[in-house]
A = this chain, B = another copy of it.
């Protein structure tokens, strides 16, 4: 299948302050986003794609200055692909607080003229959805054909159905959960402690010190990476394979290939990811919990949703297991909503949602085919 080819990030500035769930607000901010395909005459074929922790607005295609910069969901989105850009107009917005272009902790705080750092206001999934809705309004999109997201992106898709039920037709929620479990929060908290206790973090104002809390970011990423992979896929890929023919008998040198792989992932991540962004995004994950306002009753929480739903989970995903997706499905069924559910037998753990699995992509393709017919795309 053809790829989108070269795509160009766009930017939109917002003068009007964005009120946040914390009580603070974000003023004088900009959002970076990309669009693929063409908005049709009745503006009915727009699909919003929401990104997760370590991703950006750059979902598909490549940037001209870097032919290797393939978008993170390039296997799913493009001409003739499951989300077909020949039929749909696809929008992906970099969320505020991110480190990939939209206003975030490394940008100047208009109140002080210095980088926000740790003073960047705490943002929630709901705040991001508000920011996305504003941008779509500016683009003249009144009603989305669908909102699609995986993991934290799936939480945004779910939140859209509650915050803007009349501005969307469908939600596609992949490898997600209605909230984080205690274990999920625990892993986030360890990662955050690794970052904030790194002496180079300087209380979140490391920019002014000319250093980066790379030690903490490395540890955070290594922990994250373990939770993205299944036990089985790690075993199949690395097992107990040694790096050298003989044991070195060292506590600090690399002995096993899995150590080498994790260190590499951690090093790479610490070069490009912002520590304050890591704190903000993991906190947004922790906070997301639409059932909280309903005493923990997800069925009551989802009563407002009007969208049609496709929910997808992966058997070996232990970060957001199929059980968590089924909670969403059950709550929707309790409300007699239109919901399709697919549990994909895939070995890759949470990462499966980013991979090219024919059954998974077949399900998404079929669902978007249905949406295309509905909106005449």
Contact = CB atoms under 8 A, between A and B. Distances in A.
Interface of A: 21-24, 118, 122, 179-183, 185-187, 189-190, 192-194, 196-199, 204, 215, 218-219, 222-223, 226, 229, 231, 234-235, 237-240, 247, 249-252, 255-256, 258-259, 262-263, 266, 276, 279-280, 282-283, 286-287, 289, 292
Nearest to A224: B190
A35 B222 CA distance: 42
Given A219-B219, A249-B22, A251-B283, A238 B182 contact: yes
B247 A219 contact: no
B197 A215 contact: yes
A276 B235 CA distance: 28
A252 B240 CA distance: 36
B279 A182 contact: no
Contact of A256 (B122, B185, B262): B185
Given A179-B240, A231-B181, A192 B258 contact: no
B180 A234 contact: no
Contact of A185 (B198, B240, B263): B240
A247 to B, nearest CB: 7
How many copies, total?
2
Given A22-B249, A194-B219, A218-B193, A186 B266 contact: no
A21 B215 contact: no
A215 B190 CA distance: 11
B186 A226 contact: yes
A270 B297 CA distance: 39
A223 B180 contact: no
Contacts of A182: 231, 234-235, 237-240, 256, 258
Contacts of A193: 218-219, 222, 263, 266
Nearest to A200: B199
Given A251-B192, A252-B192, A252-B196, A183 B226 contact: yes
A223 B183 contact: no
A40 to B, nearest CB: 40
A187 B226 contact: yes
Contacts of A286: 255-256
B190 A226 contact: yes
Nearest to A251: B279
A194 B190 CA distance: 11
Contacts of A259: 185-186, 189
- Which of A226, A282, A292 counts the most B-chain CB atoms under 10 A from its CB? A226
Given A181-B231, A197-B215, A240-B182, A258 B189 contact: yes
A67 to B, nearest CB: 32
- Which of A182, A235, A239 counts the most B-chain CB atoms under 10 A from its CB? A182
A283 B254 CA distance: 11
A237 B287 CA distance: 19
Contact of A190 (B204, B223, B239, B283): B223
Nearest to A235: B182
